[in-house]
Amino acid sequence: MPLLDAYIPAGALEPDAERELMDEITDALLEHEGVDPSNETARQIAWVFVHRPEVYVAGAPADAPRYRFVCQVPEGQYDAERRAGATKAITEAVARAERGRYPDPEARVWVFTFEVPDGTWGALGRTVRLPDIAGAVMGERGRQYGERRLAERRRAEAEALLRAARAEAPA
């Protein structure tokens, strides 16, 4: 279910370390999305696109690799805890993959976690929603999970709007 754009400068990692990193990150993203990383159906739809940027810092070529990871999941899959967990797991995995080649790896890894609004994820030539995706991975239990996550999200959003309206209303 996760889609990841991994921006890794060419030569930043040894090829075997980069392959291990992609596997470790895939597991972490699935786990922090609430999916068993050993679920083969889920693994088949966990895609990573690797980009090879040239990175400049303060207008000059970077002195050590800088990494950017843009994680996208269907709406309803991330909360603050899951976002923090994915960010921590990716950062730590990159630090291990560098194998001590560069100082301060944690300061050179940026992670952005986004939810794709429900009804705007496209696959199989059509729009798919979280219940569709979760249902394909986990069957009817997954479909129910997806519906529940979205309903919880909508309820939380409505409650926040109501609180804001009450706070702005004249006494």
Query: What structural domains and CATH numbers belong to the chain?
Result: 3-168 (3.30.429.10)
Hunting for tokens 């519906």 — which residue is that?
147
8 A C-beta contact, residue 118 and residue 126:
no
Residues 6+ apart with CB under 8 A from 46: 1, 2, 4, 26, 29, 30
Provide the mean pLDDT of the chain.
Answer: 95
Instruction: Give the pLDDT of residue 84.
Output: 97
Q: At what angle do helices 15-32 and 80-98 cross, to 10 degrees?
A: 170
- At 41, list the tokens: 């159906």
Position 119 scores a pLDDT of 93
pLDDT band (50, 70, 90) for residue 1: confident
pTM for the complete prediction? 0.89
Spatial separation of the C-alpha atoms in residues 19 and 152, rounded to whole Å: 37
Query: Which amino acid is it at 119?
Result: G
For tokens 């921006």, name the residue: 7
